[in-house]
Amino acid sequence: MAEETIFSKIIRQEIPTPLLYQDDLVTAFRDIAPQAESHILIVPNKLIPTVNDLEQDDELTMGRMFTVAKQLAKQEGIDENGYRLIMNCNQHGGQEVYHIHMHLVGGQPLGKMLNL
């Protein structure tokens, strides 16, 4: 079984964090160390350590992450000018918390890449 993460505690609000979105599949909140004017994390409520651990049953959750990203980008007012969606996988991919998550980043020109 995967180890509990800080994201699991945020999802259950054991670590009080203002949530931007939550339903039965995913939760979204602001990144504690933002890399741009708008930097939101979208995480599945189910603990899935890495993209390599995804199963066919997780497809609905992954799709929900993208539709929530679209909704939040509009709410943040960054949908028109553009934004970036980033998912890191494992150490070489830059993953720091082993609970998959999507970074929604925007609100300014981002250049070619960000170091998340």
Annotated active-site residue 101? The verdict is: yes
What are 32-87's pLDDT values in tens digits?
999 999 999 999 999 999 999 999 999 999 999 999 999 999 999 999 999 999 99
Show the domains of the chain with their CATH numbers.
Answer: 6-106 (3.30.428.10)
Instruction: Say which of 39, 99, 101, 103 is annotated catalytic.
Output: 101
Q: From its phi and psi, is residue 13 left (phi > 0), alpha (psi between -120 and 50) or beta? A: left
> Whole-angstrom distance between the N-terminal and C-terminal Cα of the chain?
27
What are 89-104's pLDDT values in tens digits?
999 999 999 999 999 9
Tokens of residue 50, six digits: 């890495």
